[in-house]
Amino acid sequence: MKDSKLILVTGATGYVGGRLVPKLLEAGYRVRCLVRDPSRLQGRAWLKQVDVVQADGFSSDELVDALKGVSTAYYLIHGKQGGKTNAERDLNVARNFSHAAEEAGIDNIIYFGELVDPTANLSPYLRARHETGYLLRYGKVPVTEFRAGMIVGSGSALFEMIRYLVEREPLLICPAWFFSEAQPIAIRDVLSYLVDALKTPDCTGRVIEIGGPTHLTYADMLLSYAKERGLKRWLIPTPFNAPRLSAYWVHMVTPIHWRVVAPLIEGLRAKLIVRDDTAKKLFPHIKPIDFQTAAHLALGRIQRDSVETSWSDALVTAMGDFKPYQFSVEEGMFIERRQVLLDLKPEAVFRAYMGIGGERGWLYMNWSWALRGWMDKAIGGVGLRRGRRHPDELHVGEALDFWRVETVEKNTRLRLLAEMKVPGKAWLEFESLQQEDKTLLTVTAYFAPHGVSGFLYWYAMWPFHKFIFDGMARGLASRARILSR
């Protein structure tokens, strides 16, 4: 049954907020998203199902207008991590929001804060996150505050830090904070608590600490992830915390900025554990999963040999914009996209890439593909000799040179899974999406590295991709034009 309550979600462009919105919609609630820049929501599958309002946290009038008619507001706002100035800005926004909520007459606020030890020597950022809850509760609108430590989920800062360190560092020099106890919680369990709070009136006005079922150190999590990936890693403990140096080190060896990592490391210096069982009493039906299970689920897409294009934000907007080249690292996977906008029908473009490989070749620098096939054959791989069954038809499951056809969607998509010997898993995907009277051809290479050798392999091959895949995209465009005549 659809619930008539209007729910406001702040921070919908963030990690938790972006996942909370679809959960609320699934539960039948009407949702309004408050954002400073609505363009950052472009590409979200649920965008047309929500009401989007633009407001600045420093403008009381804008906040009051955004909160009109709202029953419950989720407060998921926090600014840049680091520094006293940013911390003070966060507290000022919280004060404004509390006053605006009171003036708008909403029923309650749900705040998602940090599970920290308030007696510890906290950074200004973490202290502000803790004090935000006090400021919100100081107002007249009832507040439910959930406090969680480290969140485990694909794309979360904690999980990505673990992933990159384990994948890239066979030997880890471990500061003292690696061995502080924590209680990591899966993102799916966080969302369950946040959504169920709407139908649990007894939680209103309460501070609720949530965490996973087991106490682990950060070192335990690293080794658990390594086990999940089948990697051997060695840890060398040291007696020093060195939080700032650690943040810079993570910044250098991973794509994660040190300002994002610093609060995590600051929190890990103290025990991030649940100290009361209020959550169990109020939400007995929620049974949090352990870290190993959460890590397994986060890695599930790769372990199922499946790359889902929904992992990435949409590259094509309603305006028909496109980017000729984009490189990104998402959930530990290297992704390279090349796009060409063609004055053709999708059918012609689809036929062009469905005929690739085999006797026809790969449309550009075929000698390099032959060399790669010979190298694969020399080390016991399948090589290019398998060719293809039919010059123009492909079916899911059949071989194509050193690829296996994984997905075929008529006139839209072809995805190939690499079966050559590589230190990881690789896919090559072709898409032909109609944009008004044109077709956007997208060629995407995915690579999920396994261990250090996987990263070295990728960076060794990356310089050649510029020539090979650019030429392939041009060749496919030319072939599509010929086929459309």
Q: Which of 240-244, 298-302, 445-449 has the lowest mean pLDDT?
A: 298-302
> What is the predicted pLDDT for the residue at 330?
65
> What is the predicted pLDDT for the residue at 206?
93
In CATH terms, the superfamily for domain 1-148 is: NAD(P)-binding Rossmann-like Domain (3.40.50.720)
Detail the DSSP E strand segments found in 212-311.
216-217, 234-237
> What is the predicted pLDDT for the residue at 416?
93
C-alpha of 129 from chain center: 22
Distance between CA atoms of residues 471 and 42, nearest Å? 30
**Per-residue pLDDT reduced to its tens digit, 34-92:** 988 887 787 678 889 999 998 888 788 889 999 999 999 999 987 555 555 566 788 88
Q: How confident is the model at residue 267 (pLDDT cuts 50, 70, 90)?
A: low
Give the sheet arrangement for strand 30-35, strand by strand: 51-54, 30-35, 6-10, 72-75, 108-114, 143-148, 207-210
Q: Mean per-residue pLDDT for 146-172?
A: 83
Distance between CA atoms of residues 477 and 388, nearest Å? 21
Distances (CA, A) of 160 to 194, 221, 474: 23, 12, 35
Distance between CA atoms of residues 111 and 102, nearest Å? 15
Q: Identify the residue whose tokens are 């649940």.
A: 274
Phi and psi at residue 144, to the nearest 5° = -105, 120
DSSP of 178-200: GGSEE--EEHHHHHHHHHHGGG-
More confident residue, 102 or 377: 102
CATH 3.30.530.20 given to domain 303-483: yes
Distance between CA atoms of residues 253 and 271, nearest Å? 26
Distance between CA atoms of residues 372 and 401, nearest Å? 11
DSSP of 364-416: S-HHHHHHHHHHHHHTT---STT--SSSS---TT-EETTEEEEEEETTTEEEE
Q: Which of 4-8, 193-197, 267-271, 403-407 has the lowest mean pLDDT?
A: 267-271
More confident residue, 361 or 382: 361
Q: Mean per-residue pLDDT for 432-458?
A: 87
Phi and psi at residue 51, to the nearest 5° = -95, 125
- Pairing status of strand 151-152 against strand 185-186: parallel
**CB-side exposure of 264: number of CA atoms within 13 Å?**
26
Q: Which of 70-79, 148-157, 386-395 has the lowest mean pLDDT?
A: 148-157
Q: Mean per-residue pLDDT for 427-441?
A: 90
E strand or H helix at 341:
strand 333-342
Query: Is the model's pLDDT at 300 over the cut of 60?
Result: yes
Q: Mean per-residue pLDDT for 251-260?
A: 70
Phi and psi at residue 271, to the nearest 5° = -70, 120
Distance between CA atoms of residues 110 and 143, nearest Å? 6
Q: Mean per-residue pLDDT for 238-266?
A: 76
What percent of the chain is predicted at pLDDT more than 90?
Answer: 36
Q: Are 372 and 381 in contact (CB under 8 A)?
A: no
Mean pLDDT (the chain, rounded)? 83
Phi and psi at residue 245, to the nearest 5° = -65, -40
> What is the predicted pLDDT for the residue at 313?
30
**Per-residue pLDDT reduced to its tens digit, 80-139:** 555 555 667 888 888 999 999 999 999 999 999 888 776 666 667 777 778 888 889 888
Query: Is the model's pLDDT at 25 over the cut of 90?
Result: yes
Q: How confident is the model at residue 435 (pLDDT cuts 50, 70, 90)?
A: confident
pTM of the predicted protein model:
0.67
C-alpha of 263 from chain center: 19
- Domain spans in the chain, listed from the N-terminal domain onward: 1-148, 303-483
Distances (CA, A) of 189 to 46, 55, 213, 385: 21, 29, 11, 48
Detail the DSSP E strand segments found in 222-314.
234-237
Task: Fill in the DSSP letter of residue 170.
Answer: S
CA triplet 461, 462, 463: central angle to 5 degrees? Answer: 95
CA triplet 115, 299, 292: central angle to 5 degrees? Answer: 55
> What is the predicted pLDDT for the residue at 126?
73
Q: Mean per-residue pLDDT for 184-189?
A: 92
Q: What share of the chain is helix, strand, coil (3-state, %, to 5)?
A: 45, 20, 35
